[in-house]
Structure 1
Amino acid sequence: MAGRRRRSARKPLWAKILVATGAFLMVVAGGAVVYANVMFDKVNDAAQQACLLDDCTAYQPGEEVTGPLNFLLVGSDMRKDWSAAQSDSIMILHVNADLSAANIVSIPRDLEVTIPDCGNGAPCDDKINAAFSVGGTDMKKAVSSLAATLTDLTGVKFDGAAMINFGGFEDVVELLGGVELCVPFDMDLEHPKDADGNKPHVKKGCREYEPKLALGIVRERYAYDYDNPNWDPKYGVGDYGRQRMQQHFIKQLLKKAKAEGYMTNVFKVGELIDKIGDQILLDLKGRQVTDLAFALTDIDASKLTTLKVPSDSVKENEIWYVRTLPEHEKAAESLYKAIRDDDLATWTLENPDWVNKTG
């Protein structure tokens, strides 16, 4: 690899919400067609849609959805004072051929890759998060660059993409009145600092958290480090630890949403859509949101299998990288092939060490 550049880098929630929303709307349609049609329009119009990928008009609204499917999911944090967006969460959602099961492959944002175009028409080697930052504050360019980099790395072509601003996650937690998170060890968080710049401290254990602190826990990665005396290696270092917490957060969020009726009460479904719709940017290649939601109703979101890219953390010149080392190359290549060939069920059984266990 040549042309290395250093940059200080500063779940899938939308799909699960849409699966639940779609299932509910199908029930509503049986007894209240007019209201259901209003809700269809509400869901389809709620999220911002843009052409983020190649061939973004490949399908027509209402066209049958067939599998397998691969979606790029990005959790970002856009701030007014930033010159470029940051991708705190990068995932590939793979849905199998008969649309009955799904897997999520988490991509460490510190994964070192070759970016096909680093903004000057030339490739460079950097963390994959930098591929997103290439777009600056242009979300279309950011997602497009990230998708191209992942396709170059894995050979996987995407059937759609979704980006959610992390403010959307915070809004959902606020709507639900908090979320219970199980912190694996004592942590000093980078965010949210108080007026004097002091870091919040959270204790090991399970408890309910308010939106800003919950988001701080989900975004934290520096606590998962050898320098933290409270760190427990079994929870992973750096991005690996944060991936586990992000997946735990998504499952806890779904659990709370279900308990509060946001997956079964028509009025609450509408309230949820209103709350986060403007925080989501979608490219479904011409499909409507409800087309996809109906197609995925057989998937049990609580049974999604979450996978890690075979790799390891390496510290170089005080900077952490995630690299696919020689001993990981066979497993990594077979993972990418399994996504392309729709054979992740077999890969998961053969590679249990790379299955994330959350909770």
Structure 2
Amino acid sequence: MAPLRHRLCVAAGSLLLIPALVAAPATAGPAAIDGPIDILLAGIDPRDTHTAPLADTIIVVHVPADRSGAYLFSLPRDLVVRIPGFAKSGSSPQRAKINAAMALGSRVGEGRYDPAQGLELLARTVGDVTGIAGFDAGAVIDFGGFRDVIAALGGVKMSIDQDVASEHRKPDGTPRDRLPQCQGHHDCARPYTGEQKIYPRSDTPVRLKPWEALDFVRQRYGLPRSDYDRQRHQRQLLTAVARKLSKAGPGRLRRVLAAAGSSVTFSGGRHSLAAWVDELRRVNAADVTTVGVPGTAVFEDGRYLGESVDAAPFFTAVATDRVAPFLVDHPGAVTTDN
């Protein structure tokens, strides 16, 4: 395990990968990480080993070879893709929503699932979509662990860029009531009723409690661009967390690392923990650019199938490590959040 003072230096540049790096055991591997870096982050609902995990949040982090910053972009969880076959789990090739790749790849036995194995199939699927030949590292964090990390930070401040009504929570944070016809099962698409927590638009950063931050970034219903607005809010929260971590003292950082606990799964590929710690501390949280990928809904005979994205030139820029010049030369191809 790398010395604590080195692990704490990672905070400024590694976003939610920080607790994953600390949770991972040190292994032998090359001492240096050269060239551009591509990291896959997946967020899942808290689940036990007997429930297949779904990747509800999929974010790619690209760090240029010159370490001049980092770029984050999301893929819609409902993106319709071809998921390749995966011998480890016995799943066959199929066309489905991309969040299913984690579940299909995670099966390790009858009724048993492993998110780390599921991340392998998700990485292959995301690689096929984006043209990224292989991810250098990846991490899975459940949303409960994310909430605990924010709690250890003492909450987080965010600008609320649009009015958002919670589908899931009352103003006091307790769960909303379920409709009578939706009691005892999960077959209702929108099972809740009654008063809602409201997050009013504010250009001045608002301090959000841990449950509020997590609730805010999980909302899509009622938003003009639905899941694309939700993806933007998730990227904004990641950036806010990273920037607060960059200013935190050693005592608070220790609490953050402890809070992550077993909720994070990290894969460092060919490189050791020490190598990742040394490399990622070179990235400044202030130099992170978050990017929105354009997409549209896919329908067949009036039935919603999922989403498609139109970002092939941007994906090529990522795969060839030319994101900065691409954003300058093609200002309308994607959107930047900051």
Please give the TM-score of this superposition, normalised by the length of structure 1.
0.72
280, 305, 319: which one aligns with 1:296:
280
Preserved CA contact (<8 Å) 2:42 2:55: yes
Preserved CA contact (<8 Å) 1:312 1:322: yes
Preserved CA contact (<8 Å) 1:46 1:278: no
1:160/1:77 Cα in 2 relative to 1: closer, same or farther (>3 Å)? same
198, 216, 225: which one aligns with 1:202:
198
What is the DSSP-based 3-state SS (H/G/I as helix, E as strand, rest coil) of the residue aligned with 2:177?
Answer: coil
Q: Which amino acid aligns with 2:200?
A: K
1:347/1:275 Cα in 2 relative to 1: closer, same or farther (>3 Å)? same
Q: Is 1:143 paired with 2:119?
A: yes
User: 1:74 corresponds to which residue?
Assistant: 42
> 1:319 deviation in Å?
3.3
- Which structure features the higher share of helix residues? 1
73, 92, 103: which one aligns with 1:105:
73
User: 1:29 corresponds to which residue?
Assistant: none
User: 2:190 corresponds to which residue?
Assistant: none
> 1:141 deviation in Å?
2.5
Name which of structure 1's ranges 340-349 and 197-206 shifts more when overlaid on structure 2: 197-206
When the two chains are superposed, the root-mean-square deviation of aligned CA atoms in Å is: 3.1
> 1:315 deviation in Å?
5.1
User: 1:22 corresponds to which residue?
Assistant: 9
Q: Which amino acid aligns with 2:316?
A: K
Q: Which amino acid aligns with 1:349?
A: V
Preserved CA contact (<8 Å) 1:43 1:290: no
Q: Which amino acid aligns with 2:144?
A: G
Please give the TM-score of this superposition, normalised by the length of structure 2.
0.76
What is the DSSP-based 3-state SS (H/G/I as helix, E as strand, rest coil) of the residue aligned with 1:353?
Answer: coil
**d(CA) in 2 for partners of 1:249, 1:240:** 14
User: 1:88 corresponds to which residue?
Assistant: 56
Q: Which amino acid aligns with 1:154?
A: T
Q: Is 1:319 paired with 2:298?
A: no
> Could you report, residue by residue, the CA deviation over 1:238-295 in whole angstroms, capped at 9, with x for unpaired residues?
221011111221222234445xx52xx2222222211114221111124333322222
1:333/1:21 Cα in 2 relative to 1: closer, same or farther (>3 Å)? same
How many residue pairs are counted as aligned between the two chains?
297
> Could you report, residue by residue, the CA deviation over 1:28-71 in whole angstroms, capped at 9, with x for unpaired residues?
xxxxxxxxxxxxxx989831469xxxxxx8xx446111111111
> 1:74 deviation in Å?
1.1
Preserved CA contact (<8 Å) 1:305 1:355: no
User: 1:230 corresponds to which residue?
Assistant: none
What is the DSSP-based 3-state SS (H/G/I as helix, E as strand, rest coil) of the residue aligned with 2:52?
Answer: coil
What is the DSSP-based 3-state SS (H/G/I as helix, E as strand, rest coil) of the residue aligned with 2:290?
Answer: strand
Q: Is 1:122 paired with 2:92?
A: yes
> 1:111 deviation in Å?
1.2
Percentage identity across paired residues of the two chains: 30
Preserved CA contact (<8 Å) 2:21 2:266: no
User: 1:278 corresponds to which residue?
Assistant: 262
1:44/1:195 Cα in 2 relative to 1: closer, same or farther (>3 Å)? closer
> 1:165 deviation in Å?
1.4
Structure 2 residue ranges without an equivalent (≥5): 13-17, 108-112, 179-193
Preserved CA contact (<8 Å) 2:84 2:92: yes
**d(CA) in 2 for partners of 1:214, 1:43:** 18
Q: Which amino acid aligns with 1:287?
A: H
User: 1:268 corresponds to which residue?
Assistant: 252
120, 126, 135: which one aligns with 1:158:
135
Structure 1 residue ranges without an equivalent (≥5): 1-17, 26-41, 51-56, 225-232
Q: Which amino acid aligns with 1:124?
A: Q
**d(CA) in 2 for partners of 1:145, 1:44:** 19
User: 1:175 corresponds to which residue?
Assistant: 152
- Which structure features the higher share of strand residues? 2
**d(CA) in 2 for partners of 1:106, 1:283:** 19
> Could you report, residue by residue, the CA deviation over 1:74-96 in whole angstroms, capped at 9, with x for unpaired residues?
12212349832121211121111
